[in-house]
Structure 1
């Protein structure tokens, strides 16, 4: 399959809104090239996986890159994205607002990024390792998650994923049941299983993500403990879980808060991540309105995670 890369040259303030537009249009994968990342101070607790190259970044503004399959629906999807981004001019400074396109061959896309992806320790006890890298446990009880994300979102190195795994490590108990909403490459699903969850249901709307989740679950020999299905958030799902985890955009999280409540046991935890600071209050309000108790909020590199509890 061939893919079309859509590159949007815009401003930092428009990133969240444009990301939402392209995700709603069905785009797979998202790259943000922000020159501020070249000078941003970063925590060194878990290390960096590669050095940034200034040549990959614009001189001003930011570039948002995303991908659509080159099929019969491509023109309609591009027209919709262009119209909705232009409409955002009423709310944001869009800067240059230049949209360009290029063709990407799947075989190139699936392998070129691998040179940047190295083993990364995301908590004191959990390390994520790409399958093509050699790695030996630093200590006896270290849990290794084998990953080959392919074209699905989720290498495990993004701050939102790290925050999610740290919350799972803190709040998930042995033999509890888990739902992962927006499973991507399956990283959180696998982490939950490694941490002792007995039964896990993972859902993603993207067919590529569902396939990637299943493949990575097989890599970690966890197929018997995890069920992966294609689904739109929790629509039509009627389960009873001890914990629900979701690492997606804030605008998407607020859409299924009531469904999360319905699928949680009394006293169960709802872990949400993928939230920027400007959207935090929106998510908190929705959670409280549904009856959740806010247990904890954490921040890493400007990203927020919220842990909420279903009141008894």
Structure 2
């Protein structure tokens, strides 16, 4: 089978929604080429440093790449991807150059091209994200390992919005508690909650492909007895109360269900939100406060913001 590489020159702000668009179009995974990786100062506590080749990165902006099978419908698929990306401006998302290029690759190149970007990375005090094809031994006895195969879903679990969510889960989830993961995607946040000791995790996503991908990752990490994944639109028709709700999605989507989250979180419980760009910070914060939440903690990483909101 022949494969086509689609490359989008965009902005860091647009990486998450474009990755989602590519996933929904049939891409198995994405590669993100961000020149900030070349000069970023990393804390010594988290992460491994690898020699990066400047030739792999654009001079400015971010390049998002994905691989699609070459079929008679490829042209239509690419047109739909372009249209979906253009529509992001209606959400006030800066899509930058928005230059889309297509090139053909053979099967071997497609199967391995993106793996060079993905290595074990320690993202928090407890968690290390490990690709399924790499061997990794724990550094300490209390280290928690999440195995992911980006070929199953978009994202590698190391984007700042995901990292902040996992760090927030570490601060809030206690053994025996219940958690809801809204817009679960790869299922990484649900896996983290289960490994932290949650006894009951419900993971929701509107995209059926994402639901199936999350199920695969949850099976891979052996937490299927704790995590239940199902197709659902945000928190619509969800019953019962939980200790923690976590959502790593666009700010505009978060604003749609803040009140629902308040009603479902137990008094003293938490609502973790991420995927928030700096210009949307105050709008999301105001919505949380208006719904009745208190801002327990605000996390920031690069241009992204995450709130840990607490129901009094």
TM-score (norm 1): 0.82
Superposition pairs of residues 71-150 of structure 1, within 5 angstroms: 71=73, 74=77, 77-78=80-81, 80-81=83-84, 84=87, 96-102=97-103, 109=110, 111-150=112-151
* Contact kept? 1:143, 1:194, Cα under 8 Å: yes
* Contact kept? 1:154, 1:186, Cα under 8 Å: no
CA distance in 2 between counterparts of 1:75 and 1:64 reads: 14
Structure 2 match to 1:198: 199
Q: Which moved more, 1:106-115 or 1:146-155?
A: 106-115
Q: Which moved more, 1:1-10 or 1:116-125?
A: 1-10
* Contact kept? 1:127, 1:145, Cα under 8 Å: yes
CA distance in 2 between counterparts of 1:147 and 1:96 reads: 31
Structure 1 match to 2:56: 56
Root-mean-square deviation (Å): 3.3
Indicate how the Cα distance of structure 1 residues 266 and 4 shifts in structure 2: closer, same or farther if over 3 A, else same: farther
CA distance in 2 between counterparts of 1:232 and 1:105 reads: 38
Deviations 1:234-257 (A, max 9, x none): 233233211001122222222221
2:42 is aligned with 1:45:
no
Residue 161 of structure 1 deviates from its aligned partner by 1.9
Q: 2:13 aligns with which of 13, 16, 35?
A: 16
Residue 65 of structure 1 deviates from its aligned partner by 4.1
Q: Which moved more, 1:276-285 or 1:112-121?
A: 112-121
- Count of equivalent residues: 305
Q: Which moved more, 1:215-224 or 1:139-148?
A: 139-148
Structure 2 match to 1:247: 248
Structure 2 match to 1:267: 268
Q: Which moved more, 1:217-226 or 1:37-46?
A: 37-46
CA distance in 2 between counterparts of 1:250 and 1:2 reads: 37
* Contact kept? 1:68, 1:74, Cα under 8 Å: no
SS at match of 2:113: helix
Residue 79 of structure 1 deviates from its aligned partner by 5.9
* Contact kept? 1:110, 1:151, Cα under 8 Å: no
Residue 258 of structure 1 deviates from its aligned partner by 2.1
CA distance in 2 between counterparts of 1:302 and 1:83 reads: 22
Indicate how the Cα distance of structure 1 residues 58 and 226 shifts in structure 2: closer, same or farther if over 3 A, else same: same
2:168 is aligned with 1:167:
yes
Q: Which ranges of structure 2 fall in alignment gaps of 5 or more residues?
A: none
SS at match of 1:141: coil
Residue 117 of structure 1 deviates from its aligned partner by 2.3
CA distance in 2 between counterparts of 1:160 and 1:94 reads: 18
Superposition pairs of residues 169-184 of structure 1, within 5 angstroms: 169-184=170-185
Q: Which ranges of structure 1 fall in alignment gaps of 5 or more residues?
A: none
SS at match of 1:242: strand
SS at match of 1:305: strand
Residue 108 of structure 1 deviates from its aligned partner by 5.7
CA distance in 2 between counterparts of 1:141 and 1:82 reads: 42
Residue 181 of structure 1 deviates from its aligned partner by 1.0
